Amino acid sequence: MKRDFPLIPVIIMTAVGTEETAVQALKCGAASYVTKRRLAQDLLETVRMVLRAADDERNVSRLLIHHTQQAEFKFVLENELPLLAASVIHLQQTMRAMGLFDESERLRIRVALEEALLNSMFHGNLELSSALREDDKPTYHEMARVRAKEPPYCERRIFVEASFSPSGAEFKIRDQGPGFNPMDLPDPTDPENLHRATGRGLLLMYTFMDGVAFNESGNEVRLTKTVRRVNVEPFA
């Protein structure tokens, strides 16, 4: 039922001996439960409580979409792919909740963020080159696995700052690696380089974001995206 009607709260009625079933139902998404013995006394109040909770959830969505003017987040992440993915999903959900950008633009921002985070982890903190990934992908991933557990690589962190406002979004991603000079990379937009691993992430970041800027040491990137306003011509 939860799969077919995800927005409808489910209340379970339990009888003696069905406690384990009730617990399992709650774990699977039921909103609450009442015992059969106290059905007459508790059902109405339980329904009211569940409906209040549903209303609160809708009000939170209204608050985020219509009344949130600015939101900021700061993460300090270990070199773990699940953590990187979770941070990007959280930021994407925040943009959706605030009504920033359409679904297509949010997806492009997500791709740019993922590329920036992967660069910070693999090329920054773990000091692995794109050339190695291009020439020997199994060795590349094995070295990443090993370095993620040994010093000094495992001690390095990725610092993420994100800020959202009605005018757009800004992200700063910094690693603790030695940095690099983006000018040393081959032009990823050159047709001869489009199929090379080197510079692919930069190409996606420059294509999908309005602004991409690195600090002097090359271990921090600032990504910006501006909300585009549609100007409607007045009727003559």
Q: Give residue-wise pLDDT tens across range 7-29.
A: 677 777 777 656 677 677 776 76
Please state, rounded to an integer, the average pLDDT across all residues of the chain. Answer: 82
Q: How does pLDDT run across 169-212, given as a tens digit for each residue?
A: 999 999 999 998 777 766 665 666 555 556 678 888 888 999 99
Locate 58 and state its tokens: 């809708």
pLDDT in tens, 204-231: 888 899 999 999 899 999 999 999 865 4
Question: What is the arithmetic mean of pLDDT over 158-164?
Answer: 97
- Domains, the chain, in order of start with CATH, read 11-66 (no CATH), 69-226 (3.30.565.10)
Specify the long-range contacts of residues 79-85, CB closer than 8 Å, at least 24 apart: 79/121, 79/125, 79/126, 79/148, 79/153, 79/154, 79/156, 79/157, 79/158, 80/148, 81/121, 84/114, 84/117, 84/118, 84/121, 84/158, 85/114
The tens digit of pLDDT for each residue in 91-129 reads 998 998 888 999 899 999 999 999 999 999 999 999 998
Contact by Cβ (8 Å): 108, 160: no
Task: Give the predicted TM-score (pTM) of the model.
Answer: 0.70
pLDDT at 236 (0 to 100): 45
pLDDT at 143: 96
Cα–Cα distance measured from residue 143 to residue 85, given in angstroms and rounded to the nearest whole number: 21
User: The sheet that has 71-77: what strands, in order across it?
Assistant: 71-77, 158-165, 168-174, 220-226, 211-214
Name residue 164's beta-bridge partners. Answer: 71, 169
Cα distance between residue 76 and residue 175, in whole Å: 10
